[in-house]
Amino acid sequence: MAIKQIFATLIIVFLFLVTFSYFSYAAECEDSFYLYNFKYSNGDLAYIGRSLQKGCMPGNVQEESYKFNIVKEDSIVYSYWFNPSKRFSDAIVNNEITGGVEIVKESTISVAAPIIDYNKISVLNEKGQELIFLNKEQIEEAEKKQAEQFSIIDYVNNLMRSLLRQLFGPE
């Protein structure tokens, strides 16, 4: 019984530390932004959905081959350049940066964008062809479908309940 109590205490302490570190990091930057998520496969790009994020929005440093646009009344109000076939794998090892660029045929891409009023989003490839065009209603409909699906938070909650039931029996 004492082992179960120690194990449960360790789980609670771990969850507290994870939560505390998340909120202490989030306190540094209280901005909110969207991550628009896409699936890239052999030159094809498909919209997966978007998620609201809290923290510092990453910037866009250089022009690449694909261009994500947020459009309001036929004017581009935000753009973000990216290349879905490139994966950056930099890491710091022994105070030195190692890694580089990998060319991939499949990946999931997340594009950061501010929360602004818009009518549509679009993605253009290197030839200027519009690969994705979604109006605001289509994006909001996709969000509703996403919300109806089983969320990761529900999964973790159910997992913790199951674990606690195994340790301490039924509620």
Q: What is the pLDDT of residues 84-116, one digit of tens each?
A: 988 877 788 888 888 888 888 999 999 999 999
- Do 145 and 137 touch, CB atoms closer than 8 A? no
And the tokens for 98? 């190692």
State whether 69 and 13 are in the same domain: no
| Structural domain of 61 | 31-150
Q: Give the integer Cα–Cα distance in Å for 140 and 127.
A: 28
- Do 40 and 106 touch, CB atoms closer than 8 A? yes
Q: If you average pLDDT over residues 46-56, what whole number do you get?
A: 90
Number of folded domains in the chain? 2
Please check the confidence at residue 24 and state whether its pLDDT lies above 50.
no
Q: Give the integer Cα–Cα distance in Å for 101 and 138.
A: 34
State whether 133 and 80 are in the same domain: yes
